[in-house]
A and B are shown apart, each in its own frame.
Chain A
């Protein structure tokens, strides 16, 4: 029951996912519309519980066991609670029951988003520019003919796509475009075929109940 029933459901809904692509009958399409617009949409919304629950559990556990840097888990939990309260009760268009402005100082969900989340998210990824520069100096060695080819291709792209390429030679941007259009497409498509066939095989294995790792622990038959 604990494994067979979920596997049965997965199979049935797998078939329900395939059929609308093949059968245009109104009954099929109406059922599919109900699944998409109501049923699966609501389930997808509840899936947030899984992610959020796991995140909070990890951090509560860290605090309870006083693991290294546990104090920061409080920072995460408190900012999460404050942001949620402001968002849930302050509303998304400022119409909520919680006031989100004191004088000219506003602290609604948008202000938190644009002044905390946006700069933090953007800066974390901006760090990668520095790490990449360091890696360029330390790691990219032309040790073999293949590695040399990779670097030459990268150099051509780096110069050819920019206005500098145009200044060096009028043909350089066109050549760069050709690299992207022809040899690059050949390589990417070869890889794409491999990935697509792999995805297809995995999808079939999941629907047919051969691949069961998604069931996780918890036992049962």
Chain B
């Protein structure tokens, strides 16, 4: 055992234990640590927004190098502040409208191509898709299962018609695929959560208490 003598390691460890204390019940230590987290995280963000973006990309070129065109995004950016001034709060819609417009516009061709066209191409039964898994002849069978699975899953989520007859059968098959998929997601979720706990225990037992190396 080789306990750390670094005061910052002790601060980290005590904050870690404060958060873990929530497992027993909600308490002032937990709440204190939780609020510190939000404060520090936002202070960190402000620091880098200033040093990485606003100074080198706006204030320096505008005020030191005289790139006057930058006055336009500067003024429109400032309009975000009007959100907190009731009389002119509508002006915040201008920077939001511009930003949202561009993002939404750019998303349309990107989404169609990446999520609809490419994914459809990956589903249809082609010789190229049969090779996707390097599984030889079984690739054909797997492609058929995948194709049927996608169609049946879609039919399960189709609620405009009662699930009877053919739709009843396909949606029943669809739910099988959905449950296998959700089960897989749950299995992996367990791994994710445990991994995060291991990370903290490695810190407490290693960096702080020196029990593990």
Contacts and interface: CB of A to CB of B under 8 A. Distances in A.
Interface residues of A, number: 123
B145 A183 contact: yes
Interface in A46-105: 46-50, 52-53, 55, 57, 69, 72-73, 75-84, 86-88, 91-92, 105
Contact of B196 (A12, A75, A128): A128
A183 to B, nearest CB: 4
A203 B77 contact: no
B9 to A, nearest CB: 7
Contacts of A164: none
Given A17-B103, A190-B154, A120 B110 contact: no
Interface string B112-144: 100110010011000000000100000000100
B8 A87 contact: no
Contacts of B32: 72, 75
A151 interface: yes
Q: Among B52, B151, B179, which residue has the most Cβ atoms of chain A within 10 A?
A: B179
Contact of B181 (A84, A118, A187, A220): A187
B105 interface: yes
Interface string A25-50: 00000000001001111111111111
Interface in A129-154: 129-130, 132, 136, 146-147, 149-154
B160 interface: no
Interface string B169-182: 00000111111111
A185 interface: yes
Interface residues of B, number: 115
B70 A116 contact: no
- B contacts with A: majority SS: helix
Contacts of A76: 35-36, 38-39
Interface string A113-124: 111111111111
Given A92-B47, A109-B47, A127-B20, A46 B40 contact: no
Nearest to A148: B179
A123 B76 CA distance: 39
Main secondary structure of the interface of A (DSSP, over half): helix
A181 B135 CA distance: 12
A213 to B, nearest CB: 11
A190 B157 contact: yes
A154 B101 CA distance: 41
A168 interface: no
Contacts of A78: 39
Contacts of A151: 183
Contact of A84 (B20, B43, B97, B110): B43
Given A6-B94, A116-B15, A127-B20, A184 B35 contact: no
4 closest pairs, A vs B, by CB?
A: A83-B43, A186-B149, A17-B105, A87-B47
27 contacts: A10-B101, A12-B101, A17-B101, A17-B103, A17-B106, A38-B57, A40-B98, A43-B73, A46-B80, A47-B95, A72-B31, A80-B43, A86-B43, A87-B50, A109-B44, A109-B47, A111-B8, A112-B44, A116-B40, A117-B44, A123-B15, A156-B183, A181-B133, A189-B150, A191-B153, A192-B115, A192-B119
Interface of A: 2-3, 5-7, 9-18, 20-22, 35, 38-50, 52-53, 55, 57, 69, 72-73, 75-84, 86-88, 91-92, 105, 109, 111-130, 132, 136, 146-147, 149-158, 161, 178-197, 199-200, 203-204, 206-207, 214-216, 218-220
